[in-house]
């Protein structure tokens, strides 16, 4: 299968009609479209997806509805009554037929907004003989997508329509679609599956079930056996429906697990930041409490001693001044004039001597009274000196203590501010609203759900096998009681043929499927070793046809899921070329049987942007050999490392003027 041309009209970056004709030369089977970043290479790759599947490859955290397909320049020229169409036409050929796929959406404008409003859409598929391309047959619209998927399996679109720049948006274990089913289509095994399903495994509409309905017997015993058999067959159909539902639920849970694992892997740095953020919040709180405690200690120390410290110079100056005017101290310590007045009033000295008027004793007391406060300040000066001495003693170390307390406050505040700044920096580098613990809880719940569903699926399978055995026994009894007539004998003979055909097809299918699986694994490892110099790594398919990368360890090869972008591309390139090579091998084996085992073209958008120069050369050298057609959209700076000039049959350049919002495509040479 080869693409001969693609025509895009008003599609995203491209205004008007642009056509690319691809090389179908068996020797020069490479078409290259060169262009700088952001000029529209990916838009052409998106046009393939739109034309084939009415879809585009959305970026992370975006939906397809977020993308506007109608060219902005066209939309800006529209009014409320205008109509404009976006269309993509893809022409493809195989050895005998030509296929024309045309998909179109007509838009109006949600005036005055610069928004396109979808009005209607259509898709057509016309098939003609390559020797008579004008004599086309239109495919039933309801069958168009089915036919397209037969030619270009959507499950493999992430591989043959490969977007190197966005591959990081794909889950670690490959695209979460039914790759196994697509491989079966490519290798012809799907025909076996359809035949097996049609013969016996599609329930009441199967060939074998309908034949059994034609066989009749006589008597109540036969009727009882037939009712029981029919009941068991209904239970088998019900069990299969349950299993289908369980498989869907397991698939949904697996998809959720893949999304969470991808999210956690991509946000690994953010999670580390968040863990550090939580730790710093605790540190900040502790530092804040410590700073407050140090501040309180400083205030208490200051309140307790600072006033004494500030008063010392004043006290010393006051004492000096008072001493200069008070003269010699002659007071009685702790005595006051009121004490002398009380003694005189009693009329007797404390020694018992009477105090008569003009007596010597009274004269001495009156003299002493003049040396006491408030007449004399000598005693007050003494108290003042004692207080000053006490304050001096208490405040002698206050300066050093207050300095130390102030330094503690300053240091704790500085540490607190540094932690605040570090937290602010982390918060700028991460989304503080992400709850990784909740994500992991969801991850665990989905894993438990899969375990539960798998156990339930096993139970239903067990019931099916049990019912099948019982049905076999019932049919043996029914056969012995069937009416011995010619009609029954004919239907019984047909039934035996159908059962034998079913058994043979199933046996052949299992054998060929196992052989396909082993051959693919051998080829994929061989291609990986040719394209990448990595002796300590290998890749393989598991039973679900997911691509695993294995690393050499001391105890053998172990799977590694945390792959770099380059490793993911390496892994999937190996898968791409393996599928192409295997299809070509099968086509050679079945030469003369048109349409079976046909190879797919490879359309690669920015395939080498995350690879080194040597790996670019190695990969590029393999592509023209394993695929009948290679279409590359890439940067000129990467092209020189491919060494593919001798394989190029058509080359194009995307051009875009700086002042224009749309691009155009020009053929080179």
List the chain domain ranges: 2-216+483-668
Residue 127 has pLDDT above 50, yes or no: yes
Q: How far apart are the first and last CA of the chain?
A: 26
**What pLDDT, on the 0 to 100 scale, is given for residue 182?**
67
Q: Model-level pTM?
A: 0.56
Three-state SS across 102-126? EEEEEEEECCCCCCEEEEEEEEEEE
**What pLDDT, on the 0 to 100 scale, is given for residue 442?**
86
Most confident of 358-362, 372-376, 585-589, 658-662: 358-362
pLDDT tens digits along 434-473: 667 787 788 888 888 988 999 898 899 898 889 888 888 8
Q: What superfamily in CATH does domain 2-216+483-668 come from?
A: P-loop containing nucleotide triphosphate hydrolases (3.40.50.300)
Average pLDDT, the chain: 80
Residue 597 has pLDDT above 50, yes or no: no
Mean pLDDT, range 211-230, rounded to an integer: 76
How far is 69 from 65, CA to CA, in rounded Å?
10
Which of 2-6, 349-353, 525-529, 576-580 is least confident?
A: 576-580
pLDDT tens digits along 78-96: 998 899 999 999 999 988 8
Residue 519 has pLDDT above 50, yes or no: yes
Residue 221 has pLDDT above 80, yes or no: no
pLDDT tens digits along 157-190: 777 887 765 544 443 334 444 567 767 776 778 8
Which one is predicted more confidently, 531 or 179?
Answer: 531
How far is 571 from 580, CA to CA, in rounded Å?
15
**What pLDDT, on the 0 to 100 scale, is given for residue 237?**
86
**What pLDDT, on the 0 to 100 scale, is given for residue 200?**
83
User: In this structure, what is the dihedral angle of CA atoms 194, 200, 204, 209, given to the nearest 10 degrees?
Assistant: 140
**Pairing of the two strands 630-634 and 602-605:** parallel
pLDDT tens digits along 416-437: 888 888 887 776 666 555 667 7
Mean pLDDT, range 276-289, rounded to an integer: 85
Q: Which helix (H) or strand (E) holds 554?
A: none
Most confident of 412-426, 494-508, 539-553: 494-508
- What is each CA distance from 109 to 15, 71, 140, in whole angstroms? 17, 12, 31
106 confidence band (pLDDT: 50, 70, 90): very high
- The sheet carrying 2-9 orders its strands as 17-21, 2-9, 84-93, 97-109, 116-129, 132-138
**What pLDDT, on the 0 to 100 scale, is given for residue 596?**
44
Residue 31 has pLDDT above 50, yes or no: yes
């Amino acid at each position: 299968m080869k693409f001969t041309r693609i025509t895009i009209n008003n599609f995203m970056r491209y205004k008007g009609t642009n056509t690319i004709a691809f090389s179908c030369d068996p020797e020069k089977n490479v078409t290259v479209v060169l262009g700088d970043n952001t000029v529209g290479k990916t838009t052409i790759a998106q046009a393939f997806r739109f034309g084939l599947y009415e879809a585009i490859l959305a970026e992370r955290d975006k939906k397809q509805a977020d993308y506007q397909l109608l060219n902005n320049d066209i939309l800006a020229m529209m009014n409320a009554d205008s109509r404009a169409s976006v269309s993509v036409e893809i022409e493809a050929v195989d050895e005998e037929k030509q296929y024309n796929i045309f998909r179109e959406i007509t838009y109006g404008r949600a005036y005055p907004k610069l928004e396109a409003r979808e009005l209607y859409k259509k898709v057509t598929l016309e098939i003609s003989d390559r020797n008579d391309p004008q004599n086309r047959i239109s495919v039933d619209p309801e069958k168009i997508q089915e036919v397209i998927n037969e030619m270009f399996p959507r499950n493999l679109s992430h591989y043959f329509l490969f977007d190197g720049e966005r591959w990081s948006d794909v889950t670690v274990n490959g695209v979460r679609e039914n790759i196994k089913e697509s491989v079966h289509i490519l290798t012809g095994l799907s025909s076996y599956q359809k035949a097996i399903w049609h013969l016996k495994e599609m329930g009441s509409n199967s060939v074998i079930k309908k034949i059994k309905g034609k066989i009749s017997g006589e008597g109540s015993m036969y009727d009882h056996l037939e009712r029981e058999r029919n009941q068991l067959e209904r239970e088998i159909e019900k069990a299969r429906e349950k299993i289908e539902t369980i498989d869907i639920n397991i698939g949904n849970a697996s998809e959720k697990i893949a999304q969470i694992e991808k999210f956690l892997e991509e946000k690994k740095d953010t999670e580390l930041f968040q863990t550090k953020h939580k730790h710093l919040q605790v540190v900040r709180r502790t530092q804040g409490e410590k700073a407050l405690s140090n501040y309180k200690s400083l205030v208490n120390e200051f309140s307790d001693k600072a006033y004494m410290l500030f008063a010392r110079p004043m006290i010393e100056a006051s004492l000096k001044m008072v001493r200069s005017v008070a003269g010699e101290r002659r007071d009685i310590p702790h005595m006051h004039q009121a004490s002398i007045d009380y003694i005189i009033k009693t009329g007797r000295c404390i020694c018992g001597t009477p105090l008569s008027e003009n007596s010597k004793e009274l004269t001495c007391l009156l003299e002493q009274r003049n040396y006491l406060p408030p007449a004399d300040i000598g005693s007050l000066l003494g108290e003042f000196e004692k207080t000053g001495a006490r304050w001096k003693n208490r405040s002698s170390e206050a300066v050093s203590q207050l300095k130390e307390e102030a330094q503690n406050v300053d240091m704790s505040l500085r540490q607190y501010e540094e932690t605040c700044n570090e937290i602010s920096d982390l918060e700028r580098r991460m989304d503080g609203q992400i709850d990784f613990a909740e994500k992991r809880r969801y991850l665990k719940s989905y894993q438990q759900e899969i375990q539960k569903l798998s156990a339930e699926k096993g139970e239903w399978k067990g019931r099916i096998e049990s019912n099948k055995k019982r049905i076999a026994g019932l049919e043996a009894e029914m056969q012995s009681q069937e009416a011995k007539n010619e009609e029954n004998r004919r239907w019984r003979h047909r039934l035996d043929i159908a059962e034998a055909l079913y058994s043979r097809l199933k046996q052949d299918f299992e054998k060929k499927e196992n052989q396909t699986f082993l051959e693919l694994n051998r080829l994929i490892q061989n291609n990986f070793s040719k394209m990448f110099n990595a002796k300590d790594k290998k890749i393989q398919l598991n039973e679900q046809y997911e691509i695993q990368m294995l690393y050499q360890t001391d105890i053998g090869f172990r799977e590694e899921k945390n792959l770099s972008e380059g490793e993911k591309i390496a892994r999937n390139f190996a898968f791409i070329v393996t599928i192409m090579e295997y299809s070509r091998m099968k086509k050679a084996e079945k030469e003369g049987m048109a349409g079976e085992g046909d190879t797919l073209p490879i359309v690669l958008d920015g395939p080498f942007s995350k690879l080194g120069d040597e790996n670019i050369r190695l990969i590029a050298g393999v592509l023209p050999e394993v695929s009948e057609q290679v279409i590359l959209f890439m940067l000129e700076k990467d092209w020189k490392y491919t060494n593919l000039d001798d394989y190029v049959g058509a080359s194009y350049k995307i051009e875009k003027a700086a002042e224009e919002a749309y691009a155009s495509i020009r053929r080179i040479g």
